[in-house]
Chain A
Amino acid sequence: MAAMEPIRHEATDRTPEVLFDFAAGQYRIAGESYPEDAASFYGPLTQGLRQAVEARASDSLEFSVEMIYFNSSTAKALMNLFQILEEAAEAGMGVRINWCYHEDDETMEEFGEDFSEDFAHADYRMCPTS
């Protein structure tokens, strides 16, 4: 199978910077997210991640989230991505998630804590920055 092409998006006013490098197992979403249509923005990302995990595009993967603000539809999309990551970890893949947030940002800290509850197999880390 040919290597999956990475997905790269520059940040826009309403959508985050995205890098999904499937072959390298490096994933990053950073910035603000309140897209007009969350399903059409996150749908291809969810699908790509699912395919990469099923095809074992990398032996292990690292997924970093560095959000400043996201709306409720984005929260739902993140949850979908995280469910795929936890399933991959449960199936034996090395999965590390970095939830990065500014140390003063209680909202992002709370979200990070809440998402962490769904991970039993993946290595989920809270990464406060100053």
Chain B
Amino acid sequence: MTELATQRETGGNGLIAEEVLGFQRNMTRRGIIFSFTGYISEGILKALGDALRQKIRLESTDNKTVNRVFSVFVEQVQNIIRYSAERIEHDAEPPVELSSGMITVGSEKGRFFVICGNIIAREDADTLGGRLSELQGMDSEALRRFYKEKLREPPDEGSKGGSIGLIEIARRASEPIQFDFEHLSDEYSYFVLKAYI
């Protein structure tokens, strides 16, 4: 074995593979198909969305489930892109618009789940929590009515249409959506939304 090869296997960085493998195995154990953390753009949404569709189609899942998972994924990622408080905007050509957050898709006991997490302004947490609690209490028929009602209304101030996106997520989920907040500072909270399909 050459000196170089030995170095590659153990030399100084020998723990990296163990650490990364451990990290990956931990994710696999949790049923995670993929997880993305960092700055998300519409281009990343497209690329991850394509990979997601291919992956769940391969698992011979019926079309209905593929479409539902995909729809929940798109709405969650677009929520991060539009509402994350951690964002970079630049008027370059083409314009740069990146928002930070985390998106995870996995399966557990034969059901898919989609989780998103991102930082929001702490002052928005109560409004968002209130909206989501309201959705949790609705059955599928009530959600269908509510979605329609919101479509007829002009969008809420500053919502960029996001309230309809949350209803779409709740409609495609097979049980009430879960959400939580972790207060980070006086200014910011971390918001998590999980939907089983």
Q: Does B71 lie within 8 Å of A69, measured CB to CB?
A: yes
Contacts A69-B70, A72-B168 given; indicate if A79 touches B152 (C-beta within 8 A): yes
Give Cα A71–Cα B46 distance, bound, in whole angstroms.
Answer: 13
Among A33-88, those with CB < 8 Å from B are 34, 36, 38, 69, 71-73, 75-76, 79
Residues of B bordering A, CB below 8 Å: 42, 46, 63-64, 67-68, 70-71, 74-75, 78, 144, 147-148, 151-152, 155, 161, 164-165, 167-168
- Judge whether A5 is part of the interface by a CB distance below 8 angstroms: no
User: In the complex, which residues of chain A have a beta carbon less than 8 angstroms from the beta carbon of B63?
Assistant: 104-105
User: In the complex, which residues of chain A have a beta carbon less than 8 angstroms from the beta carbon of B148?
Assistant: 114, 117
Main SS at interface, chain B? helix
- Which chain A residue has the least Cβ–Cβ distance from B163? A72
Interface size of A in residues (CB-CB distance below 8 Å): 20
User: In the complex, which residues of chain A have a beta carbon less than 8 angstroms from the beta carbon of B155?
Assistant: 76
Contacts A36-B42, A76-B151 given; indicate if A71 touches B67 (C-beta within 8 A): no
Give Cα A79–Cα B67 distance, bound, in whole angstroms.
Answer: 21
Q: Does A76 lie within 8 Å of B46, measured CB to CB?
A: no
Q: Does A71 lie within 8 Å of B78, measured CB to CB?
A: yes
Q: Does A72 lie within 8 Å of B164, measured CB to CB?
A: yes
Residue from the list A13, A14, A75 in contact with B151, Cβ < 8 A: A75
- Shortest Cβ distance from A97 into chain B, in angstroms? 16
- Which of the listed residues A71, A114, A117 has the most CB atoms from chain B within 10 Å of its own CB? A71
Residues of A bordering B, CB below 8 Å: 13-14, 34, 36, 38, 69, 71-73, 75-76, 79, 104-107, 110, 114, 117-118
- Shortest Cβ distance from B179 into chain A, in angstroms? 18
Give Cα A73–Cα B151 distance, bound, in whole angstroms.
Answer: 9
Q: Does B64 lie within 8 Å of A107, measured CB to CB?
A: yes
Give Cα A34–Cα B46 distance, bound, in whole angstroms.
Answer: 10
Give Cα A14–Cα B151 distance, bound, in whole angstroms.
Answer: 21
Contacts A76-B155, A79-B151 given; indicate if A107 touches B78 (C-beta within 8 A): no
Top 4 nearest A-B pairs by Cβ distance?
Answer: A36-B42, A72-B164, A72-B165, A79-B151
Q: Does B70 lie within 8 Å of A72, measured CB to CB?
A: no
